[in-house]
Amino acid sequence: MDDATGLLITVTGTDRPGITAQVFGLIDEHGGRVIDVEQVVIRERLVLGILLSPNDPDKLAAALASLADELGVEISCEPASVGNAGESGPRHFVTVVGQPLRTGAIAELAGEMARLNGNIEQITRLSRYPVQSFEFLVSGADGETLRAALSNEAAQQHIDVAVQPATLYRRAKRLVCLDVDSTLLQGEAIERIADLAGCGEQVRRVTSEAMHGALEFGDSLRARVAMLEGLEVAHLRECVERLRLTPGAKTLVRTLKRLGFQVAIVSGGFTQVTDWLTERLSIDYAAANTLEVDHGQLTGRVVGHVVDRTAKARLLEDFADQAGVPLSQTVAIGDGANDVDMLGSAGLGIAFNAKTPAREAADTSLNVPYLDAILFLLGITREEIEAAEAADPLAPIDDSGEAQMLHGSF
């Protein structure tokens, strides 16, 4: 056995306490340098791999064979190169989300990775519900090429895929900034308000044009607000109290806050909505448009500058400065053309059930109905979410999203 060749030891069998300790104890008795190690337990089935440079590989292999009989496991030993250990080229996390996540879809994605010389080093389950999600650690493939190929395949398979560099910065994202209408909330608040004013259909038509980028947002907002002239502020409050969160929104915000993230909301809508959400969800930073009020009625005008796509990106920067977080450690989530600049500026831009302009600008898209699936793209597992909830048992989350409204305690 030459200097570039080591011994790869693979242990498989029913897991129980003490197996790993005894294997490493025997290796220590025979000397040698551990190069790499990986262990996983799947449904009480242990798989342990150890790459090392032993003093006497034949003697160690014989001793391990005896230990295998004693432990009731299988231990194999085979020569393996150690010359390039740890030098596998660029590494990326590939997060796959589906509802359901078919085995055929995983096979196609894995095939694309292999075609691009990507080697799957590790697969971790992130969640079983409300969606299925897995994280692949892939080495050797160019990131941009991998992202493009897997995005195309994901569209064909009707699943979502996110590709991110496997660096510390991925879990170091510390500020999450969300759009409000059709992201944090179901639907567009202005359309609900317009229904009260009797101009719902006209406002919906203008909203759709603006969200798809066919109409400049500032002009569209002023046109829609003008239709609300004369609406009583008391009626506006009633409408706000009937708005519904997107399923998973409470879980997302609560989990992020519990794990030390700061959360911001920025809206092309109105402060009456964002102020209310800020109070109930303990949002750290918020910005939106201000409706002008005179004698208890809306005047049909907006006070100050309009929060358009440029302003949203600038506000993300402002929030990051206030939080002491560089833009590279921010996450932006949105759905429409008004979110394009913000999605492009963030360290990670996520298009959530989005229109085409937002999908094209974002780093990745998520097309499942649950907002808390965002957590999986950050590498946060369902077990971590439940552990965070268990740490605060006096404030349980009811986040089914079934006709759920923001009444009552959070």
Token pair listed for 21: 């300790």
For 123-159, b/e burial (b = at least 16 CB within 10 A) is: eeebbeebbbbbbbbbbbbeeeebbebbbebbeebeb
Which single residue is written with the structure tokens 């206030």?
Answer: 322
> Which tokens belong to 123?
């697969």
Please indicate whether residue 294 is annotated as part of the active site. Answer: no
Known active-site residue 318: no
Per DSSP, 401 falls in state: -
Reading the block at residue 61, the tokens are 């292999």
Q: Could you tell me where the DSSP H helices lie in 3-122?
A: 19-30, 57-71, 103-115
List, in sequence order, every residue forming a beta bridge with 98; answer none if it has no partner: 132
Structure-block tokens of residue 245:
């969160």
Q: Give the helix ranges, DSSP H, for 14-169.
A: 19-30, 57-71, 103-115, 143-157
Q: Which of 15, 179, 308, 341 is catalytic?
A: 179
Q: Which of 15, 160, 181, 341 is catalytic?
A: 181
User: Facing residues of 408 across strands?
Assistant: none
Instruction: For residues 2 and 43, give the distance between their C-alpha atoms in angstroms, rounded to a whole number.
Output: 38
Residue 353 to residue 238: CA distance in whole angstroms: 27
d(CA 300, CA 293): 8
| Four-point Cα dihedral 298, 301, 307, 311, nearest 10 | -150
Strands 119-127 and 91-98: unpaired
Kindly give the interhelix angle for 189-197 and 200-211, rounded to the nearest 10 degrees: 160
Residue corresponding to tokens 């596998």 = 88
Q: Supply φ then ψ for residue 406, to 5 degrees.
A: -90, 25
Q: Exposed, middle or buried by CB within 10 Å (0-12, 13-18, 19+), for 20?
A: middle
Task: Identify the bridge partners of residue 136 per DSSP, sorted by sequence position.
Answer: 94, 123
CB 60 within 8 A of CB 73: no
Strand 348-352's sheet: what is its strand order? 297-303, 285-294, 262-270, 175-178, 330-334, 348-352, 364-366
The tokens for 181 are: 């209408």
Catalytic positions: 179, 181
